[in-house]
Amino acid sequence: MNQKYNPLFEPFTFKSGATIDNRIMMAPMTTNSAFENGMVTTDEHNYYRRRATGLGAVITACAQVREDGKFAGSLSAATDMHIESLRKLANTIKSTGTKAILQIFHVGRMGSARSLRGLQPVSASAVPAERPGAETPRELSDEEVREIIQAFGDATRRAIEAGFDGVEIHGANTYLIQQFFSPHSNRRDDHWGGTLEKRMNAPLAIVDTVKAAVKQYADKPFIVGYRLSPEEIEEPGITLNDTKALLTKLKQKELDYIHISTGHYMQSSIRNPEDQTPVLKTIIDTVGPDTPVIGVGAIKTPDNALEAMEELNLPLLAIGRELIAEPDWISKVRAGKEDTIRTEIRPEDKDDLAFPDAMWEYVQGNPGWLPIVK
């Protein structure tokens, strides 16, 4: 291995006491491949097994905490009946020597009546997303909000019983937790909304509930992370100042990491073109060195990864779409064969890449999401 890449392969120990072998993690990406009941399919086992070897940790695709919070093909951690299926997935990942982290979420207004078997999607307020065909959600009652918060704790218990090494709370990508924080989707005037501080209440309560479950049920170090999207383009939408306020609160929760969802690791503000400071730098400056930040976005080569670590002072990196295109990314870097890393996907590579059929169909229907060469 080229010695300049040594920093990528140093071990890292989280506040919880859990240690990963290196600084590279697999970013959570939907496979759209679970059974309709949320159980893990053989295709998904093959997909994760093909990519997990050598990574510090794998963060799975999102698993719903309630059955009214799913999309088609998502994993489920919604009932105790799902524990055995989740255990098999955790074992698949951990059999490679890699830590397994289950991402937990509720889809909120990004769901549809079709995927919810006729149920109306729910959200903080009855405001549809700004996307074609978006359905108007039903506003959750106070009691329902509290039930969903508890559901995140219950899902955490199931992850622990299934043998996962941690959970990532999915507060990003416009799903329900973000919907409570966003002034676009949250127009409430109660404990859960009305001011910036109140829009933080649901996300922070979920963190507290998850950490309480870990304290009660985990008998060894268990990782708790939080993923967020730093801005929204909607008006009104989440601003960097909003996010900095939330980060200040999250820092007090002693999380193992905060994972920032961006399209590129050097991405600047999407709301203020005049601000050319990388968003990740702003976030790292806000939380300080005691709260580990995971950077993600367009990391294709080990040189990209090294730049992200050195320029932004990032302790941890997540690689997403590049690991779909090149499952052997880690082994090639270790072997000094970084020049052979694939950055494009050819249809004839589908079997070698262990692509689930449902995921391949999804990719074909969303041109540009992956670098597929015809």
The single residue of 47, 48, 175, 257 carrying the catalytic annotation is: 175
Q: Parse the chain into domains and list their residue ranges.
A: 3-364
Reported as a single tens digit per residue, the pLDDT across 314-368 is 999 999 999 999 999 999 999 999 999 999 998 888 899 999 999 988 888 888 8
**pLDDT value for 160:** 98
Q: Is the pLDDT of residue 144 over 80?
A: yes
Nearest to 59 by CA among 296, 232, 250: 296
Whole-number percent of the chain with pLDDT over 90: 94
Q: What is the mean pLDDT of residues 291-307?
A: 97
Q: Is the pLDDT of residue 374 over 80?
A: no
Q: What is the mean pLDDT of residues 221-235?
A: 98
Reported as a single tens digit per residue, the pLDDT across 158-189 is 999 999 999 999 999 999 999 999 999 999 99
User: Is 175 known to be catalytic?
Assistant: yes
Whole-number percent of the chain with pLDDT over 70: 100
pTM: 0.98
**pLDDT value for 369:** 84
pLDDT bin (cut points 50, 70, 90) of residue 254 is very high
- Architecture of 3-364 per CATH? Alpha-Beta Barrel (3.20)
Q: Across the strands, what pairs with 100?
A: 58
- What tokens does 309 get? 């670590």
Pairing of strands 166-171, 99-105: parallel
H helix intervals, 163-263: 176-181, 196-199, 201-217, 240-251
State the greatest distance between any 2 C-alpha atoms of the chain, in Å, as a whole number. 57
- What tokens does 98 get? 């890699």
**Separation of alpha carbons 230 and 246, rounded Å:** 10
For 216, other C-beta atoms within 10 Å of its C-beta total: 11
Reported as a single tens digit per residue, the pLDDT across 37-96 is 999 999 999 999 999 999 999 999 999 999 999 999 999 999 999 999 999 999 999 999
**pLDDT value for 363:** 83
Q: What is the mean pLDDT of residues 210-230?
A: 98
Nearest to 136 by CA among 147, 148, 144, 128: 128
